[in-house]
C-alpha cells in the first residue's frame, strides 16, 4: 500500500536515527542539555517583522496567491540585484523568481519538475554531494530519478568533483545539486567552479540546482552566487542568461526566521514557471502575513550584519577551544563545525552520556559509496546558540573527547 521509493530507498531521517542512537543512554542530570545537533538559529527574528505578522490579522481568511505577492517578488529581485551586483532591471519579478515555503521546499520540488521518465536512453540520474541536505535525496528519489552520490571530502576541498563524471553519466543527468556554502562543511564554491559546472549542465541539458541558503552567513568575503557566475558566461546577450539554472535562498539563516518557512527560487524562467505549476497543484500557499514580513526582511540590511556577528563570535570561541584538535578549521560560510573525531557515532554517544551535549554523527548526513561512509569519522556541531552557551557546549565537548 506504500510507495516503495519511500519505504525502501529513503531510510529514517537523520534526527530520528540520532534519537534512537542515544535513547538507551541516560545523560548526567546535573548538566543542562545543550542541543548542538540541529541547524536551527536561536537568535531572535527582527522585531519589525514579528510586528508585521501580528498586524496582518485580516489576511488569514483569504487564500494567498501561489505566484507570490507582487511586492514580495519585487523585494526578492531587489535583494538579489544588490547582493550579487546584477544589472538593474535584469530580473523580472514576474518571471525570474518564485516564493517557496523555505529553501527546503524549493530544492525538493526542482527534481520533480526537471526529471523526465527517461534521459540518455535510461533512468535519469540526479547527482548530489555526499554528505548532503536530506531534501536533495528526497527530491531525487521521489521524482523517480537515480541518486548519484558524489563524495565531498577534505581531499577535494569538501566540494563534489562533478567534472570527473564520464559522458555516459552526464547524458543521463537531469539535476545536479550543489550547496554553497556547504552544509555541513562550510565550503564555498568559487566563480570558476560554478561557471565550469553550469557549462557542463548546459552542454547536457541538465538543471544546476544551487542551494545558497547559507549565503549570508560567512566568515570572510561574501560567497559568490550562481546567478552572477551565469552572467559571466552568458552567450545570449542577456536574452536568456540563467538557462538551466535554479538557485534557492531562505530567510531561515539570514533573518533567524526558520519558523517563518519563507524562501524563494530564482533563475531560468522556464523552471520558475514549472515550479509555480507544481505548487499550484499541491504545494502550500504562503500566508499573506508571512509574505509581507518576508518582503520587509529582504529589504532591511542591518539585521543580517548582526546575525553574522553572532556567528563570527561563536567561531572565535571555537577557535580558542578547538584550534589544534579534531582537524579543526573555521569554515568559509555556514554555522557548522565539521570535526574529525575518529568515530562519529561513538563520539555522539559519549557526548550525550557524559556531557549532556547533543551533536549529529557525520555518517547520518552521508551515505555509503563503494561500501564506505566517508563521513563516519565526523560529527556536525551547530553553533546556533548565544556565545555563552556555545562556549559551555564546546568546553564540555573538548573535555569529554
Please tell me the predicted confidence (pLDDT) of residue 285: 86
Please tell me the predicted confidence (pLDDT) of residue 231: 95
CATH 3.90.1150.10, the chain: domain bounds: 4-44+303-400
**CATH number assigned to the domain covering 55-299:** 3.40.640.10
Please tell me the predicted confidence (pLDDT) of residue 10: 77
Please tell me the predicted confidence (pLDDT) of residue 382: 98
Q: Which CATH number fits domain 4-44+303-400: 3.90.1150.10, 3.40.50.300, 1.20.1600.10, 3.60.20.30?
A: 3.90.1150.10
Please tell me the predicted confidence (pLDDT) of residue 7: 74
The per-residue pLDDT string of the chain (401 residues; one tens digit each, 9 = 90 and over) reads: 777 777 777 777 889 999 999 999 999 999 999 999 999 899 999 999 999 999 887 777 888 888 999 999 999 999 999 999 999 999 999 999 999 998 889 999 999 999 999 999 999 999 999 999 999 999 999 999 999 999 999 999 999 999 999 999 999 999 999 999 999 999 999 999 999 999 999 999 999 999 999 999 999 999 999 999 999 998 777 789 999 999 999 999 999 999 899 999 999 999 999 999 999 888 788 999 999 999 999 999 999 999 999 999 999 999 999 999 999 999 999 999 999 999 999 999 999 999 999 999 999 999 999 999 999 999 999 999 999 999 999 999 999 99
Pairing of strands 207-211, 173-179: parallel
How far is CA 33 from each of CA 19, 55, 133, 150, 384, rounded to the nearest angstrom?
Answer: 14, 36, 25, 35, 14
Q: Is 41 left (phi over 0), alpha (psi -120 to 50) or beta?
A: beta
Q: What is the 3-state secondary structure (H, E, C) of the chain?
A: CCCHHHHHHCCCCHHHHHHHHHCCCCCCCCCCCEECCCCCCCCCCCHHHHHHHHHCHHHHHCCCCCCCCHHHHHHHHHHHHHHCCCCCCCCCCCCCEEEECHHHHHHHHHHHHHCCCCECCECCEEEEEECCCHHHHHHHHHCCCEEEEEECCHHHCCCCCHHHCCHHHHHHEEEEEEECCCCCCCCCCCHHHHHHHHHHHHHCCCEEEEECCCCCCECCCCCCCHHHHHHHCCCCCCCCCCCCEEEEEEHHHHCCCHHHCCEEEEECHHHHHHHHHHHHHHCCCCCHHHHHHHHHHHHCCCHHHHHHHHHHHHHHHHHHHHCCCCCCCCCCECCEEEEECCCHHHHHHHHHHHHCEECEEHHHHCCCECCECCCCCEEEEECCCCHHHHHHHHHHHHHHC
Please tell me the predicted confidence (pLDDT) of residue 315: 97
Please tell me the predicted confidence (pLDDT) of residue 59: 73
Pairing of strands 125-130, 146-151: parallel
CATH 3.40.640.10, the chain: domain bounds: 55-299
Please tell me the predicted confidence (pLDDT) of residue 2: 79
Amino acid at each position: 500500500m506504500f510507495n516503495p521509493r519511500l519505504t525502501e530507498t529513503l531510510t529514517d531521517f537523520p534526527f530520528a536515527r540520532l534519537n534512537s542512537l542515544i535513547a538507551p543512554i541516560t545523560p548526567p542530570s546535573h548538566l543542562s542539555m545543550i542541543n548542538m545537533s540541529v541547524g536551527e538559529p536561536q537568535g531572535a527574528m527582527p522585531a519589525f517583522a514579528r510586528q508585521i505578522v501580528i498586524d496582518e490579522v485580516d489576511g488569514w481568511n483569504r487564500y494567498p496567491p501561489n505566484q507570490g505577492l507582487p511586492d514580495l517578488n519585487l523585494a526578492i529581485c531587489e535583494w538579489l540585484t544588490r547582493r550579487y551586483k546584477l544589472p538593474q532591471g535584469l530580473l523580472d519579478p514576474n518571471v525570474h523568481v518564485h516564493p517557496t515555503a523555505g529553501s527546503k521546499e524549493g530544492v525538493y520540488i526542482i527534481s520533480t519538475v526537471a526529471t523526465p521518465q527517461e534521459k540518455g536512453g535510461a533512468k535519469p540520474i540526479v547527482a548530489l554531494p555526499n554528505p548532503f541536505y536530506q531534501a536533495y535525496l528526497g527530491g531525487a528519489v521521489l521524482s523517480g530519478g537515480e541518486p548519484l552520490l558524489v563524495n565531498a571530502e577534505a581531499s577535494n576541498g569538501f566540494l563534489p568533483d562533478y567534472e570527473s563524471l564520464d559522458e555516459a553519466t552526464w547524458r543521463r543527468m537531469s539535476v545536479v545539486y550543489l550547496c554553497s556554502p556547504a552544509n555541513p562543511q562550510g565550503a564555498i564554491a568559487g566563480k570558476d567552479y560554478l561557471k565550469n559546472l553550469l557549462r557542463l549542465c548546459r552542454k547536457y541539458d541538465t538543471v544546476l540546482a544551487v542551494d545558497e541558503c547559507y549565503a549570508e552567513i560567512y566568515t570572510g568575503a561574501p560567497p559568490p552566487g550562481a546567478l552572477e557566475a551565469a552572467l559571466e558566461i552568458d552567450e545570449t546577450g542577456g536574452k536568456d542568461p540563467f538557462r538551466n539554472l535554479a538557485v534557492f535562498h531562505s530567510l531561515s539563516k539570514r533573518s533567524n526566521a526558520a519558523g517563518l518557512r519563507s524562501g524563494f527560487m530564482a533563475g531560468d524562467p522556464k523552471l520558475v514557471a514549472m515550479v509555480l505549476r507544481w505548487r499550484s497543484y499541491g504545494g502550500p500557499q504562503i500566508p499573506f502575513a508571512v509574505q509581507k514580513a518576508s518582503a520587509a526582511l529582504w529589504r532591511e540590511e542591518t539585521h543580517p550584519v548582526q546575525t553574522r556577528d553572532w556567528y563570527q563570535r561563536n567561531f572565535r570561541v571555537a577557535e580558542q577551544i578547538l584550534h589544534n584538535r579534531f582537524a579543526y578549521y573555521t569554515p568559509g560560510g555556514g554555522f557548522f563545525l565539521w570535526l574529525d573525531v575518529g568515530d562519529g557515532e561513538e563520539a555522539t554517544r559519549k557526548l550525550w552520556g557524559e556531557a549532556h551535549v547533543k551533536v549529529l554523527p557525520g555518517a547520518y548526513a552521508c551515505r555509503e559509496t563503494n561500501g564506505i561512509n566517508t563521513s563516519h569519522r565526523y560529527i556536525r556541531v551547530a553553533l546556533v546558540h548565544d556565545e555563552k552557551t556555545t562556549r559551555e557546549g564546546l568546553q564540555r565537548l573538548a573535555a569529554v573527547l
